[in-house]
């Protein structure tokens, strides 16, 4: 790591540099500057980890330099030097985020001691940064595996789901010796007037933060993913035995009540009352209730009748068919024919399982896809309109504004 010494007297900085060179093993290059302006140029041009600066300097003093440094390079450890025993200086240095304060003249041993502690602080911050970066990478992996799991669940690929479920558990190995999942599904049944302020990433963050705070004492880590428009899937990872069923029930009831009383949307929460160690096809079965509140899945929920199972599979296929044909207009009769069932029966069953009419769901998928493309790509709006099945740009703009409250350009 490198040190920068700043003092308006060149004899002082050169003398201190000469005394410190080679005495502290962790210190590599020692830079010197005789003004705040020169010090800034050095920090902008070279890697600096520790700053020693005099306070009393003409034009710009050391306190001002420290403030600039910590704003632009917050990882630099700053130490202030002064020949005045004025406590107000020390107080200001601490307020600005300075690491230490040395009263001059100081013995070389005292300066070395401060430098050693500053070097240790740099190493500690580097370790924390690496831990945070590793944690962020693991969280990204968890998000990706969760999304892949839900895609395969929607398509009925149970064998792949089992692999991904185990993979998701393995990503928590660093935090838990014996990881188990407590799972729940959330359905947004109603938005308030501010619907368009609640993007998927923000909703996932809300769900995750509220649950992790509720179960902080049990060390729970929550993974959240969007599962087809208004559905979200939650997996609360915990050490086996750390969270009891009674605690889970009480916490989820509070979680549901909190969201429905404090947020600008209403939810139906479908929670599994017992811990999950293995993948169960029933865990991702979409529930059809549309009233806000909490619903506890029965242990035997997976044992559905063949007729119910067949109907759900057909609706999943219909949803996939809609997503796969966004670039053109499709009708309810076309999808019913694709599924080889009566159109009216399909319409009733679709509404039962999704909570939407076919027309409303079709429009919802197109508009949500358009929003995603507007947010995450630089595609021309006219091309986005084509991708979601609109030949006429004006019609797309009107439909999008009706759905989101903004024109496509305003939304972007």
HEC assignment per residue over 93-149: HHHHCCCEEEECCCCHHHHHHHHHHHHHHHHHHHHHHHHHHHHHHHHHHHHHHHHHH
Average pLDDT over residues 134-139: 62
pLDDT at 80 exceeding the cut of 60: yes
Residue spans in the chain of domains classed CATH 3.40.50.2300? 3-127
Average pLDDT over residues 251-275: 87
Q: What are phi and psi of 249, to 5 degrees?
A: -65, -50
- Maximal CA-CA distance, the chain: 93
Q: How many CB atoms within 10 Å of residue 358? A: 21
Could you give the angle at the alpha carbon of 267 between the alpha carbons of 265 and 273, nearest 5°? 155
Burial of 261 (0-12, 13-18, 19+ CB in 10 A): exposed
Average pLDDT over residues 75-92: 72
Nearest one of 292, 208, 210, 189 to 255, comparing CA atoms? 210
pLDDT at 177 exceeding the cut of 80: yes
> Comparing 84 with 382, which gets the higher pLDDT?
382
Q: Does domain 3-127 have CATH number 3.40.50.2300?
A: yes
Q: Could you tell me the end-to-end alpha-carbon distance of the chain, in angstroms, rounded to an integer?
A: 44
Tokens 């010796």 locate to 177
Q: What percent of the chain has pLDDT over 90?
A: 7
* CATH (one of 3.30.70.260, 3.50.50.60, 1.10.3720.10, 3.30.70.600) for 179-302: 3.30.70.600
Q: Is the pTM of this model over 0.75?
A: no
d(CA 111, CA 199): 53
pLDDT number for residue 255: 92
Average pLDDT over residues 227-232: 74
> Comparing 236 with 229, which gets the higher pLDDT?
236
For domain 306-411, give the fold: Arc Repressor Mutant, subunit A (1.10.10)
pLDDT number for residue 227: 72
pLDDT band at 300 (very low <50, low <70, confident <90, very high): very low
d(CA 407, CA 412): 9
Lowest mean pLDDT among 219-228, 258-267, 286-295, 391-400: 286-295
- Which ranges in 10-107 belong to alpha helices (H)? 10-20, 36-45, 62-72, 87-96
| Mean pLDDT, rounded, of the chain | 81
pLDDT in tens, 267-290: 888 888 877 766 655 555 566 667
pLDDT in tens, 344-374: 998 888 888 777 889 988 888 888 888 888 8
Average pLDDT over residues 309-337: 84
pLDDT in tens, 91-103: 666 666 777 777 7
Residue spans in the chain of domains classed CATH 3.30.70.600? 179-302
Specify whether the CB–CB gap between 269 and 294 falls below 8 A. Answer: yes
pLDDT at 230 exceeding the cut of 80: no
DSSP class of 299: G
Look at residue 233 and give its three-state secondary structure: strand
Query: Of the ranges 84-88, 195-199, 204-208, 226-230, which is most confident?
Result: 204-208
pLDDT at 135 exceeding the cut of 60: no
Which tokens sit at 117? 């502690």
Average pLDDT over residues 166-186: 82
pLDDT at 166 exceeding the cut of 70: yes
pLDDT band at 4 (very low <50, low <70, confident <90, very high): very high
| Long-range pairs, 120-127, Cβ under 8 A, ≥24 | 121/77, 122/1, 122/49, 122/50, 122/75, 122/77, 123/26, 125/75, 125/77
pLDDT number for residue 333: 92
Which tokens sit at 341? 């069932």
pLDDT at 306 exceeding the cut of 70: no
Q: In what order do the strands lie in the sheet with 231-239?
A: 221-226, 231-239, 179-191, 265-271, 293-296
| DSSP H or E stretch at residue 363 | helix 358-376
């Amino acid at each position: 790591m490198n040190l920068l010494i700043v003092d308006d007297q060149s004899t002082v900085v050169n003398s201190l540099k000469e005394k410190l060179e080679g005495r502290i093993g962790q210190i590599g290059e020692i830079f010197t500057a005789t003004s705040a302006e020169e010090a800034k140029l050095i920090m902008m041009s070279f890697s600096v980890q520790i700053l020693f600066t005099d306070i009393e300097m003409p034009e710009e003093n050391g306190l001002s330099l420290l403030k600039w440094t910590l704003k632009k390079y917050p990882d630099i450890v700053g130490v202030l030097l002064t020949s005045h025993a004025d406590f107000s200086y020390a107080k200001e240095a601490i307020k600005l985020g300075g690491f230490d304060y040395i009263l001059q003249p100081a013995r070389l041993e005292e300066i070395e001691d401060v430098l050693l502690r500053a070097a240790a602080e740099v190493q500690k911050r580097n370790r924390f940064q690496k831990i945070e970066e590793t944690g962020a990478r693991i969280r990204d992996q968890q998000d990706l595996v969760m999304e892949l799991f839900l895609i395969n669940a929607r398509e009925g690929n149970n064998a792949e789901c089992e692999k991904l479920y185990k993979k998701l558990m393995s990503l928590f190995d660093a935090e838990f010796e014996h990881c188990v999942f407590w799972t729940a599904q959330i359905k947004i049944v109603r938005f308030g007037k501010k619907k368009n302020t609640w993007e998927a990433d923000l909703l996932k963050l809300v769900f995750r933060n509220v649950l992790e705070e509720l179960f902080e004492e049990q060390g729970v880590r929550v993974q959240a993913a969007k599962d087809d428009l208004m559905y979200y899937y939650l997996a609360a990872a915990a050490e086996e035995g750390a969270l009891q069923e009674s605690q889970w029930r009480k916490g989820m009831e509070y979680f549901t009540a909190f969201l429905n009383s404090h947020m600008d949307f209403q939810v139906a929460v479908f929670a599994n009352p017992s811990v999950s160690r293995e993948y169960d096809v029933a865990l991702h079965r979409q529930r059809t209730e549309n009233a806000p509140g909490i619903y506890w899945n029965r242990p035997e929920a997976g044992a559905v009748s063949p007729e119910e199972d067949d109907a759900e599979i057909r609706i999943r296929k219909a949803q996939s068919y809609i997503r796969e044909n966004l670039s053109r207009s499709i009708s309810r009769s076309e999808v019913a024919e694709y599924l080889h069932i009566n159109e009216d029966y399909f319409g009733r069953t679709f509404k039962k399982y999704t909570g939407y009419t076919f027309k409303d769901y079709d429009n919802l998928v197109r508009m949500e896809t358009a929003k995603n493309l507007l947010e995450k790509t630089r595609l021309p709006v006219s091309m986005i309109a084509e991708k979601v099945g609109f030949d006429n740009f004006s019609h797309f703009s009107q439909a999008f504004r009706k759905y989101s409250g903004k024109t496509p350009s305003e939304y972007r």
